[in-house]
Homo-oligomer: A and B are copies of this chain.
C-alpha cells in the first residue's frame, strides 16, 4: 500500500469531492479547495479557503477537465473564481501534479513553470474503469426510454472498443439479443466468441430493421441518412460516442428517429464510482513516479 501522503484536491465536480473523501478514508491527509459546496470537513479532510499551504502537498489533483472557461479553473461546486495560472504559480516542481484532460494552454503554462502535469484522463486504466459506468448509464437510459424490457430486446452495438465491449456484455447479461457491428475481422471474432451476432459496420444498411435499440460508440458518422431510414421508427438510438458523435442528427430529426446523445456518463450516473476510479489511477501514477 501507498504510504501516507498529503493530497490537495482543487476544483472539479462530485467526482473530485468523492475522490477527496476516499483519499481521506484511506488514511491520507487531504486538503480541498474550490469544492466547498460538496465537501464537509471530517477527520483528515479539510476545506481550505486559499492555497497558502499548498506547497506542503505531496500530490496535487486538478479537476477533469482542468479548465472551465477561458483559463479559469473548473470549479463547478464552488463560488470561487481562480485562474489555472494562479494555481500553477502556487505549485512547485517536486510535487506530483495530476489533472484530467489537460488542454494545450494549461500544459504550456505548466511547462513555462517547469511543472509536469500527469493527465489521469489519458490513462488507459481510467478509460477502462469509466467504461463500466458508461455501459450502466446506457442501460439506464435504454430502460427509461424503451417500452419493452432489455430482456429479449434486439440490440445492436456499433463499435467494439472498451465501451462497446462492456455495453454488449451487460446487455447480453440482461437477456438482450445482442449483435455487434465492427470493422476488423479480429473484433468480429471476439464478438462471436462472446456469444454475440455480428454485422459489418460498413454494410449496416439493409440489416437494421430488426433492431429495437442501437447503441453507437464510434465517433464518426456510422448512422447516416441511409442507415437511419433503414431503422424501424420505434427503434431507440443511444449515441455514446464523443464529439462529433456517430449519428446524422439532422437526418434523424427529419426522419423522426429518437436519438439520445449521452456524454460524460460516469460523473453523472455514478460519481462515487467515477471518483474511486480516479483515485485508483492517481495511486498508479504515484507508484510509477515513485520508482
Which of B14, B125, B193 interacts with A185 by CB under 8 Å? B125
Bound CA–CA A193/B129 (angstroms)? 7
Q: In the assembled complex, which residues on chain B have CB atoms less than 8 Å from the CB atom of A137? A: 143
Q: Are A148 and B273 in contact (CB under 8 A)?
A: yes
Q: In the assembled complex, which residues on chain B have CB atoms less than 8 Å from the CB atom of A174? A: 136, 139, 170, 173-174
* Copies of the protein in its oligomer: 4
Q: What does DSSP make chain A's interface, helix, strand, loop or mixed?
A: helix
Which of A51-59, A203-211, A264-272 is found at the contact surface with chain B? Answer: A264-272
Query: Is residue A40 contacting chain B, with contact meaning CB distance below 8 A?
Result: no
Bound CA–CA A131/B270 (angstroms)? 26
Q: In the assembled complex, which residues on chain B have CB atoms less than 8 Å from the CB atom of A140? A: 140, 143-144
Bound CA–CA A140/B146 (angstroms)? 12
Smallest beta-carbon distance A134→chain B, Å: 10
**Known A152-B195, A169-B194; 4 more pairs at CB < 8 Å:** A128-B189, A133-B151, A136-B143, A147-B271
Chain A residues 113 to 155 lying within 8 A of chain B, measured CB to CB, are: 123-126, 128-129, 131-133, 136-137, 139-140, 143-144, 146-152
Q: In the assembled complex, which residues on chain B have CB atoms less than 8 Å from the CB atom of A133? A: 149, 151
Show 20 A/B contacts (Cβ-Cβ < 8 Å), sorted by A.
A18-B147, A128-B189, A129-B192, A131-B193, A132-B175, A136-B149, A136-B150, A137-B143, A140-B140, A143-B269, A147-B271, A149-B269, A149-B270, A149-B273, A170-B173, A170-B174, A173-B174, A174-B174, A175-B195, A185-B284
Q: In the assembled complex, which residues on chain B have CB atoms less than 8 Å from the CB atom of A170? A: 173-175
Knowing A125-B186, A132-B151 are in contact, say whether A270-B146 is a contact too (CB < 8 A).
yes
Q: In the assembled complex, which residues on chain B have CB atoms less than 8 Å from the CB atom of A269? A: 143, 149
Q: Are A147 and B193 in contact (CB under 8 A)?
A: no
The 10 closest A-B pairs by CB, nearest first: A173-B173, A128-B189, A125-B189, A124-B186, A125-B185, A140-B143, A147-B272, A149-B273, A149-B270, A175-B195
**A residues whose Cβ falls under 8 Å from a Cβ of B:** 14, 18, 123-126, 128-129, 131-133, 136-137, 139-140, 143-144, 146-152, 166, 169-170, 173-175, 185-186, 188-190, 192-195, 269-273, 281, 284
Smallest beta-carbon distance A100→chain B, Å: 16
Bound CA–CA A132/B149 (angstroms)? 8
Chain B: CB-nearest residue to A131:
B193
Q: In the assembled complex, which residues on chain B have CB atoms less than 8 Å from the CB atom of A190? A: 128
Q: In the assembled complex, which residues on chain B have CB atoms less than 8 Å from the CB atom of A284? A: 185
Smallest beta-carbon distance A182→chain B, Å: 11
